[in-house]
Structure 1
Amino acid sequence: MDQFFQQLVNGLTLGSLYALIAVGYTVVYGIVQLINFAHGEVFMIGAFGALTTYLLFFDGQTAVWILPFMIVGAMLASVGTAVLMERVAYRPLRNAPRLAPLITAIGISVFLQEFIRLLYEKVPFVDFPSAKQRIPFPQIDVVTGPAAEIGNVTIQRSAIFTIAALVISAVVLYYFINRTRLGRGMQAVSQDPDTARLMGINVDRIIVVAFALGAVLAAVAGISQGFQNNNIDYKMGFLAGLKAFTAAVLGGIGNIPGAVLGGLVLGVVEAMATQYVPGQFGGGSWKDVWAFIILILVLVFRPQGLLGARVVDRA
């Protein structure tokens, strides 16, 4: 039983990370119906933004008051990347066939990976480590350190941070979308952008806000992954982005509560499959396979997702 609860905790931690990224996918898809495959790289750049902030201003320190500055640095890097991406790459293709922005997103994903890999260590006037290999992530008091023991179940401090970040982010996002004027504008644009524009809503601004919100959540997820793995690298966003997309589809594409549920379910299934699937199909080497098996099963038997898609089919 203790082993089951340990795997459950591990799964919820992993699922919380997927959910943070998946909600970003969902927010953008709900507004412009774009599957932004470069969102995983926005998550990666958030982690590098936090690391850069630490190396520039706090190198060698571990005090917990550094954490808010790292979060702000991560958000600035992610939001700047996402907004620039939307303005330069996606906005000119807004009325193009859907295949065009999809291929563009894949191209941006590769570009951002290579940009970090080749140029991170070449920033002028500073001595940054090479991103061609894994870079140790800072350890911060309170959110990292000795794990908590509850019975025979071990809970890492970074796991508590990740789950708390998901809860806080989900509550704030729910309030923003349902209780603020800008959030209601996002709902209107997601239903009918042409009518929303006639009603005086600045559709371009709403789309930028959607990209920025997704980037903020991706930045928090990037820091969480850094704390959990104790390192980051330029490839970390690719697989995490694919799994977050799987979580979004699992919950119901365009459905924010569904993205949270899909991420948690995906994380728990991965953890349980690693532990309980017998024979050669179990173990850590098969956890990614099981994640995408779930995607295939959902697309075949329930393509609308667990909670159903909430996207208007526009003509």
Structure 2
Amino acid sequence: MDWLQQLINGISLGSIYALIALGYTMVYGIIKLINFAHGDVFMVGAFIGFYAITGWGLGFLPALIISMAFCAGFGVLIERIAYKRLRNATRIAALITAIGMSLLIEYLMIYIRGAQPEAYPADVLPNKAINLFGAQINSQSLFILLTSIILMIILQFIVHRTKMGKAMRAVSLDMDAARLMGINVDKTISFTFAIGSALAGAAGVVFGVYYTKIEPLMGVIPGLKAFVAAVLGGIGSIPGAMVGGIILGSVESIVSAAGFSLWRDAAAFIILILILIFRPSGIFGKNTKEKV
């Protein structure tokens, strides 16, 4: 039953990618911007959770909530400082700004606290082996998967059942028409950054609990993989980001189980190349013609 164990591990890892990918896809869906600083918001969330647990003695859930709240505010601040003035700028200007913001956050964190890694305490969540259909499943994996699923359900509720969610969908469809209908577009975009960044903060805490080690440059590879997950699912599609993350995590887990653990990072980018060649719009994306 090793395959079941690897599948659960892969889905748990994929759910972390999905939480990060949701921020990419939501922001792109509204203002057509790939926010490459998003992986570093994930890193900041991991450190906020770490200091909440080790410095304040809090449990997993309070640390998760504090990290999400801090990252929500941090995401809005990034949008106001770096992106708001570039709404009508060229795509390349926004892209360069996003990369610059990513590097600024990384090296500002190194300047503030140094480059040394930290380790989450091993007893944040109970770590027991659960026998499921003959496979030994780590209880942490199941708890992380459950946490991610709950957060995704809450996101779906916000997007489809709340007034702000309706405004987000309207701005995504047509920003100018939404503005004419009385929707506060700036407030809606800030809310989108807040929600996406809060999910990235949650992913940072979950990642820290799962992998223990965190460091200031930890957001680069998971951030890129989450971007691959968003493209795989169809950039701009919320269900696509979820499915893309889970597929990517499962593939990585299978590659590692097959004895090719050195290739697990490469697998994500091989998937990206294949998707861009054979289905550029992704699994849930739609083919649209666009002037650049």
Q: Same fold (TM over 0.5)?
A: yes
Displacement of 1:15: 0.7
Q: Partner of 1:201 in structure 2?
A: 183
With structure 1 as the length reference, what TM-score do the two structures score? 0.88
**What are the equivalent positions in structure 2 for 1:1-315 lying under 5 Å apart?**
2-58=1-57, 66-120=59-113, 131-140=114-123, 143-150=125-132, 152-276=134-258, 283-309=260-286
The answer to whether the 8 A contact 2:53-2:60 is kept is: no
Structure 1 gaps of 5+ residues are: 59-64, 121-130, 277-281
Uncovered stretches (5+) of structure 2, i.e. residues with no partner:
none
1:41-61: CA deviations, max 9, x gaps? 000100111112223321xxx
Moved more, 252-261 or 8-17: 8-17
Judge which range, 149-158 or 44-53, deviates more: 149-158
SS in 2 for 1:148: strand
Q: Residues 310 and 48 of structure 1: is their aligned pair in 2 closer, same or farther, counting only changes over 3 Å?
A: farther
* Distance in 2 of aligned mates of 1:308 and 1:87: 29
Distance in 2 of aligned mates of 1:13 and 1:309: 28
Q: CA deviation at 1:133?
A: 2.3
Q: What is the RMSD of the two structures over their aligned residues, measured on CA atoms?
A: 1.9
Contact 2:11 2:246 in 1 (8 A): yes
Deviations 1:86-142 (A, max 9, x none): 00000011110011111111111111111111212xxxxxxxxxx42220113445x
1:153 shift after superposition: 2.2
Amino acid at match of 2:283: L
Q: 2:136 aligns to what SS in structure 1? A: strand
TM-score, normalisation: structure 2: 0.94
Q: 1:15 to 1:90 in 2, by over 3 A?
A: same
Query: What one-letter code is carried by the residue in structure 1 that aligns with 2:97?
Result: T
Write the letter of the residue equivalent to 1:220.
A
Amino acid at match of 1:137: Y
Answer whether contact 2:128 2:140 (CA < 8 A) is retained.
Answer: no
What displacement does 1:270 show?
1.2
Letter in 2 for 1:75: M
Cα contact 1:144–1:157 (8 A) shared by 2: yes
Tell me, yes or no, if the aligned pair for 1:18 and 1:263 is still in contact at 8 Å. Answer: yes
* Maintained 8 Å contact 1:161/1:224: no
Q: Distance in 2 between matches of 1:217 and 1:67?
A: 15
The one-character-per-residue Cα deviations of 1:215-245 (angstroms, maximum 9, x if unpaired) are 1111111111111111211111110000000
Give the Cα separation in 2 of the matches to 1:108 and 1:167. Answer: 30
Q: Relative to structure 1, is the Cα distance of residues 233 and 27 closer, same or farther in structure 2, using a 3 angstrom cutoff?
A: same
